[in-house]
């Protein structure tokens, strides 16, 4: 008798909990099928109970009372014989949560990194494919530098780079790294040095609006440059400073020379860094300065510093994509490879080997071969095509001979060297 009473109480509690929570019970988690329990001695039938789902690891929505009695998310069966549900395998597996979108790096992110003692990574790149690789590697800052003039356009210095060219490369980089890294674009020589500070602000707006950059970079730390930085920052554009070796000013400093190697010049660099910080620069690049000078500047500033040839005491480091990966392997480039650049790959020599192998395969007829000529006609179509060619074979041969004769005459004309060959005529 006591067993029957206990069973009735279980059923009543189970049913009451299910009634209270029935509006939350979804078809995806609960079955609408029911099972009938045995009758008591009086002949009355206990209320039917819904069969719970056998999805492993998913909570049951029958209500607190029922869930507490049947074990919540534990796998179980309500069959009278206690056997498991054979349809359990048909239940859908729990969906994986969507991948989190990488958090955007901002100017504040860099400041926080410095305060926490975490190093900042920055790479200079100029186009869509390199931006893709930089983004996937998790680099914090991607700088579109005016060094593009030397690395990609073949100039001897950065000075010939124009604003239009910079915007073009900035747009390509933005498409390659659209959301995660902080994008900074160099303002090239002649776009921000004027007494009319609106020129610098107007060109900065273009780098942001047309080029897709998050910030711009300016070289120099003079009083005049600080005024320009302040004007642009107050106009709503973040500015990265750059002192030490400033490539745009090589006409003044006498070439690509290290800076700050005298006590007086080192102190001047510190003053320039403080001046840029006070003007609102969120970060300052220190290029080709002694490591102790760079460390002193970094310790003095609240904003982070990015070193290039400035030792390990800065808040972060920057290298050019092509330099660090050994993209260029010709003697001219190797002769001018910066001393501070560590080469992490030998891509340039691998590229050269690949191109040479391709040339040899084409010249020898090895490429493409049957393996790389996958598109074929059926036999019927091939026979039909051959018959079409046979219909005008004579006409095509005539036109071929005429074209060959014209080419022969043109070739003989060139061989006569009517306009001279290195000052000589034949």
* Residues taking part in catalysis: 287
Tell me 99's DSSP state.
P
Contact 259, 274 (CB under 8 A): no
Tell me 310's DSSP state.
S
**Strand pairing partners for 316?**
120, 306
Phi-psi region of 92 (alpha: psi -120 to 50; beta: other; left: phi over 0): beta
Number of DSSP helices (H) and strands (E) in the chain, helices first: 16, 10
Pairwise CA distance, residues 173 & 178, whole Å: 8
Pairwise CA distance, residues 154 & 422, whole Å: 27
Sign of CA dihedral 34, 38, 43, 47: negative
Sign of CA dihedral 245, 247, 248, 253: positive
Q: Give the residue from 79, 48, 73, 76 showing the smallest Cα distance to 61.
A: 73
Contact 259, 245 (CB under 8 A): yes
Pairwise CA distance, residues 418 & 301, whole Å: 70
Contact 149, 164 (CB under 8 A): no
Counting every residue written for the chain, the total comes to 426
Structure-token pair, residue 408:
């022969």
The C-alpha R_g of the chain, in whole angstroms, comes to 37
Q: Which residues contact 125 (CB under 8 A, 6 or more apart)?
A: 131, 134, 142, 143, 144, 173, 320, 321
**Strand, helix or coil for residue 253:** helix
Contact 79, 85 (CB under 8 A): yes
Pairwise CA distance, residues 126 & 306, whole Å: 19
């Amino acid at each position: 008798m006591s067993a029957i009473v206990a069973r009735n109480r279980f059923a009543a509690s189970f049913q009451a909990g299910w009634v209270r929570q029935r509006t939350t019970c979804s078809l995806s988690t609960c079955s609408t099928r029911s099972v009938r329990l045995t009758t008591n001695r009086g002949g009355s039938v206990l209320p039917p109970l819904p069969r719970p789902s056998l999805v492993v690891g998913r909570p049951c929505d029958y209500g607190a009372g029922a869930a507490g009695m049947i074990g919540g998310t534990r796998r179980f069966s309500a069959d009278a014989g206690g056997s498991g549900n054979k349809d359990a395998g048909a239940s859908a597996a729990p969906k994986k949560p969507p991948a989190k979108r990488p958090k955007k790096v901002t100017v504040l992110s860099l400041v926080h990194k410095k305060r926490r003692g975490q190093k900042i990574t920055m790479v200079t790149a100029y186009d869509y494919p390199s931006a893709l690789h930089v983004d996937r590697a998790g680099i914090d800052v991607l700088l579109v530098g005016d060094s593009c003039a030397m690395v990609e356009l073949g100039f001897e210095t950065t000075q010939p780079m124009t604003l239009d060219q910079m915007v073009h490369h900035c747009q390509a980089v933005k498409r390659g790294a659209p959301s995660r890294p902080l994008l900074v674009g160099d303002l090239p020589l002649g776009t921000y040095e004027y007494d009319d500070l609106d020129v610098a602000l107007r060109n900065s707006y273009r780098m942001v609006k047309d080029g897709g950059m998050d910030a711009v970079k300016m070289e120099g730390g003079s009083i005049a440059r600080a005024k320009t930085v302040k004007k642009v920052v107050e106009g709503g554009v973040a500015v990265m400073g750059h002192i030490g070796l400033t490539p745009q000013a090589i006409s003044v400093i006498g070439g690509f020379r290290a800076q700050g190697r005298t006590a007086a010049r080192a102190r001047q660099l510190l003053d320039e860094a403080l001046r840029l910080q006070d003007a609102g620069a969120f970060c300052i690049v220190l290029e080709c300065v002694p490591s102790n000078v760079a460390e002193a500047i970094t310790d003095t500033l609240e904003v982070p510093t990015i070193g290039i040839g400035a030792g390990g005491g800065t808040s972060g480091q920057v290298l050019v994509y092509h330099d660090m990966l050994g993209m260029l392997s010709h003697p001219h480039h190797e002769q001018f490879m910066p001393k501070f650049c560590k080469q992490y790959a030998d891509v340039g020599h691998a590229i050269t080997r690949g191109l040479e192998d391709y040339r040899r395969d084409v010249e020898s007829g090895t490429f493409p071969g049957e393996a790389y000529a996958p598109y074929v006609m059926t036999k019927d179509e091939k026979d039909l095509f051959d018959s079409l060619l046979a219909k005008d074979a004579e006409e095509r041969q005539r036109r071929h001979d005429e074209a060959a004769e014209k080419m022969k005459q043109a070739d003989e004309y060139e061989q006569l060297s009517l306009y001279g060959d290195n000052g000589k005529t034949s």
